[in-house]
Structure formats: C-alpha cells, structure tokens
Amino acid sequence: MNSEDELYVTDFFILADSTAQLSQIITDFEKYHIRLININKNIAVDSTYLASFNQMLDIIVDFERNLIRYKTKHGMSKAAQNGKAIGRPKRTDENMQRAIEMYLSKHYTLDQIKEETSISRSTLYRHLAR
C-alpha cells in the first residue's frame, strides 16, 4: 500500500488475529497516512482518528493481557488449594540415578540412555553438573 491509500474491510478481524496485532497495523497505517474503513460497522478511521483509536486499542490490549494473567494466576491458586500439582511433573530420582550410572559407565550412548530412561541430554548434563 502507498501513502494516502484507503483500505476497505468488512470486519477488523479480517485484518488481524488479535487486538495487539490490530493495534500494530493501525500504528503502521498512521505512519503512512492510510485510511481504514470498516464497511459493516460504518467506521472510517483516518489520520485524524488513528492516534486516538490506537490509544484505545492499546488500553484494550493491556486489559486483555491483565485479564488473562489474573485468570491464569487465580486458576493456578485454586488448583494448588485443591491439592493439584502445578507445572511439569518431576522426574523420578531412581530413573535419573540410572541415567547417570549409564552415562558414567561409558557403555551407553546418549541416545541409548535417553531411549531407556526418557531423560534428555540437557537434563542429564544439568544433573551431572551438580
């Protein structure tokens, strides 16, 4: 698109997958003085309105982000209160010890150790460094 062009869309979701992405697109439109027209909502957003429209979108993006963060923390807190384990399950010490012994014996390749114990190379190296 060129400066001073107009873009007609039926809905804003055609342009962007998220409010944050729409905000970024509108920032670019503002920079190049591109007019955005939503046909279904009968909204024309041009250079006089782009800045305030984009500021409002930024507020909505922050709201969505904070809402997701709150719901996630609240859900994790509820799960912890109900005795649910949060996060990735820990490896069994017995399995890790077996992987270390296999590694130190020098009779097994890292791929063989991983296949038999399900311990990745990076996890094995991290435990060996301790």
CATH value at residue 74: 3.40.50.1390
Q: How much is the pLDDT for 102?
A: 94
Residue 3 has pLDDT above 70, yes or no: yes
The predicted-structure confidence for 33-77, as pLDDT tens digits, reads as follows 888 899 998 888 877 777 788 888 889 989 999 999 999 999 999
Q: Map tokens 């005795």 to a residue.
A: 83
Q: What is the average pLDDT score of the chain?
A: 88
Residue 9 has pLDDT above 90, yes or no: yes
24: in domain: yes
Q: What percent of the chain has pLDDT over 90?
A: 41
Who has greater pLDDT, 39 or 4?
39
Statement to judge: residues 77 and 100 lie in one domain: no
Q: How much is the pLDDT for 43?
A: 85
**Sheet (strand 43-45) strand order:** 6-9, 35-38, 43-45
Statement to judge: residues 27 and 49 lie in one domain: yes
pLDDT tier at 115, thresholds 50, 70, 90: very high
Domain extent for 111: 93-128
Statement to judge: residues 27 and 76 lie in one domain: yes
What's the number of domains the chain is made of?
2
Please compute the mean of the pLDDT values over residues 107-121 and round it to a whole number: 91
Residues 6+ apart with CB under 8 A from 13: none
In angstroms, the CA 71 to CA 74 distance is: 5
**pTM of the predicted structure, to 2 decimals:** 0.52
Residues 6+ apart with CB under 8 A from 78: none
Statement to judge: residues 11 and 66 lie in one domain: yes
73: in domain: yes
